[in-house]
Structure 1
Amino acid sequence: MSPLPAPANPSVTPASGTRPLRRRQGSARLSVGFILARHFTLCAFANFVDVLRLAADEGDRSRPILCNWTVLSESSDPVTSSCGISVQPKERFGDPARFDYIVVIGGLMEEEALLPPACHRFLHEAAAAGVPLVGVCTGAFLLHQAGLLQGYRCCVSWFHHADFLDRFEGLDPVTDQIFVVDRDRLTCSGGASSAHLAAYLVNKHVGPAQASKSLHIMIIDEALQADKPQPGITMDFKTRDPMVLRALLMMQQNMEQPLTVADIARRIGHGKRQLERHFQAAVGTSPQAAFLDMRLSLAHHLIVTGNRPILQIALECGFCDSSHLSRMFRRRYGQTPQAVRVTRV
């Protein structure tokens, strides 16, 4: 596997006056403190830690030499993940400046998962000391609830896009790429993307060889840069074209109020004609036709799997009314929505 390229990406905003990493006792080049929310996502946490672990030593011997990491808490009580497995914190909060990054791992969206006041105080102390803060999975929600994301771009999973908009009015989170680096705030969508964000940090502060080695041992084919589109539900469209994938995800997130092709192209930073050419080459159709097909596929799924009124389904899928849906539906499936519902098994 080829080494990671040097970090240079239009979706990574360089810090202004970023503090240099502190050199600590020993040879550690990267020190990370983790805060785990109640019912955190174990996969996101494990992927991040394993990249650090594998980069820190020869082979997979796991000694914290080039990197070190620890789980922080206001108490020594175990923190239970969303899958029921608990992790024991190793250190109390203390001085945040002993770390190069503080990483908040989020998980289930529920009231009891909110961070306690002592954690908010620690995060504000870290921010005041210039320690970069990282939000993983729904960690972006937790950083924002702590008042630490104002004025920053942040990344959340496409799956939680609507939740973020509901909770934080006026913000427009990034949901069409796997992570975002904006000065001293770093956020990622969780899951496998946390490994790529960790590799970005290892590449930057330890070296590209160590970052590549970590991903290779984890059976991850290649390092992905920040603007790699998030995988999502793109219906029947099979393509690896990043521009098309980002457009499909944008469509998916705006089913109820469909965007024009020009709007989609503008939001992903390309021209309308360029986007149309990419769609034709990648999936053999136009963006307009792809969006209509996606909305009809969703409508069909809702009709055959539930009992919601046809009008409600029509509106949720971006059609003017049930008659509009019926016309488009019959052209695609040869039957009206009502007929499909009557004949479903």
Structure 2
Amino acid sequence: MIDQSFRAVQPRHAPELRVGIIPLPNFTMLAFAGFIDTLRLAADEGDRSRQVRCAWTVMSEHRDAVAASNGVMLQPPMALQPPLAFDYVIVVGGTLHDGERESAGLLSYLRTVDAAGVPLVGLCNGVFALARAGLMDGRYACLSWFHHQDYVTEFPGHRIVSDRMFLVDGKRITCPGGVGAIHLASWLIERHLGTGAAAKGLRIMLEDGARPGEAPQPAPLTVGVSNLEDVRVRRAVLAMERMLDQNVRLADLARMVGSTPRTLTRLFVAHLGITPAAVLKSMRVDRARRLLRNTQWSIAEIAADCGFCDASHLIRHFREVEGATPGAVRAAGGPHPASSG
């Protein structure tokens, strides 16, 4: 239900950017705080934090308290407000499993926002709420590679990308969260307040500069491509990491990044010195090594998690790369921290 009694306290000059923010149960604190603090730093001079040039309203259905994924409780000061009070409505999601689903009332409110022509933003996994409200049909969703498969499973006919900071598709904006939330907020600030206001917040947050929406999500450091310029290779490596426990075919990988198997192999060799298959093997062995040292999982469990056929398959490849068996590496690594007294 929308609180029709809302009357925003307007400063002498109305804010140039007005945002309504809805944190969902188990929302991620970094995405929520990073987005708001970027607005805060651009909204006023110095560190006074007044809502002068930007205004943000945190709200929930019936003003109910909301728990973040880290356990911190947030008490929104407002119930759901009329959509036209805002230039954007932001839905901040978080962990997906064993959490509350959005209420029918909240999904109805999101449809009302859409009907009013106000752009909707799915931050972190907030896009799941937009999709459950039927508002992502025919739209691209941008999620973390970590939750790519969750979205595909629940919404098999939807379009999805997991290789960029954020994505603008008409009046739908989606962002995987993390530091991407800061850069999305900065992008909105630049659109409404100008480049100087956007740059101010980034400098204070110790960010080197703005990153465009199409900037690739950070690649795994395990293969040393964090500064790799070729976007296709970076995206392919991200896809490998996302599907580490699956049967990854070169043809599928190439299609995902807009390439061909032959071209992608050539790019991997040119930029990394090894083939995609060798990179995948290295990533699997690297993950197996970390699991051996930091968990008490059995060799068979680790093999399954890392995409090996069975324990024997893991042992063979592990010995080829490491020159030692998994058992020897686990013994040399010392006891798991959780088991030490």
| TM-score, length-scaled by structure 1 | 0.82
2:142 aligns to what SS in structure 1?
Answer: coil
| Cα drift, residue 117 of structure 1 | 2.5
User: What's 1:246 paired with?
Assistant: 235
Give the equivalent residue in structure 2 for 1:142: 129
Partner Cα distance (1:265, 1:305) in 2? 33
- Residue 45 of structure 2 is matched in structure 1 by 58
* Alpha-carbon distance between aligned partners in 2 of 1:201 and 1:194, rounded to the nearest angstrom: 11
The one-letter code matched in structure 2 to 1:197 is: L
Matches of 2:308 and 2:72, distance apart in 1: 44
Secondary structure of the 1:154 match is: strand
Task: Give the match for residue 286 of structure 2.
Answer: 297
Question: Aligned pair 1:265/2:259, yes or no?
Answer: no
* Alignment map for 1:79-228 (pairs within 5 Å): 79-171=66-158, 173-228=160-215
Q: Which range moves more in the overlay, 239-248 or 167-176?
A: 167-176
Q: Which residue is 1:329 aligned to?
A: 318
Aligned with 1:283 (options 251, 272, 281): 272
Alignment partners' CA distance in 2, 1:142 and 1:246: 26
Query: Gaps spanning 5+ residues in structure 1: where?
Result: 1-23
1:18 aligns to what? none
CA contact (8 A) 1:158 1:232 kept: no
SS at match of 1:51: helix
Question: Structure 1 232/167 Cα, relative in aligned 2: closer, same or farther at 3 Å?
Answer: farther
Comparing 254-263 with 95-104, greater Cα deviation is found at 254-263
CA shift, 1:190, in A, is 1.0
Structure number with the bigger relative contact order (C-alpha 8 A, sep ≥ 6) is 1
Offset of residue 274 of structure 1 = 5.0
Q: Classify the secondary structure of the residue corresponding to 2:258.
A: coil
Tell me how far apart the structure 2 counterparts of residues 89 and 315 of structure 1 sit (CA, whole Å): 43
Alpha-carbon RMSD = 2.8
Q: TM-score, normalised by structure 2?
A: 0.82
Name the % identity: 43
In 1: Cα distance, 2:159 partner to 2:139 partner: 10
1:123–1:310 distance in 2 versus 1, CA, 3 Å: same
Aligned pair count reads 322
Q: What displacement does 1:99 show?
A: 0.9
Q: Do the aligned residues in 1 keep the contact of 2:142 with 2:175 (CA within 8 Å)?
A: yes
Contact 1:251/1:258 (8 A) holds in 2: no
Structure 2 contact 190–198 (Cα < 8 Å) conserved = yes
Deviation at 1:108, TM superposition (A): 2.7
Partner of 2:91, secondary structure, is: strand
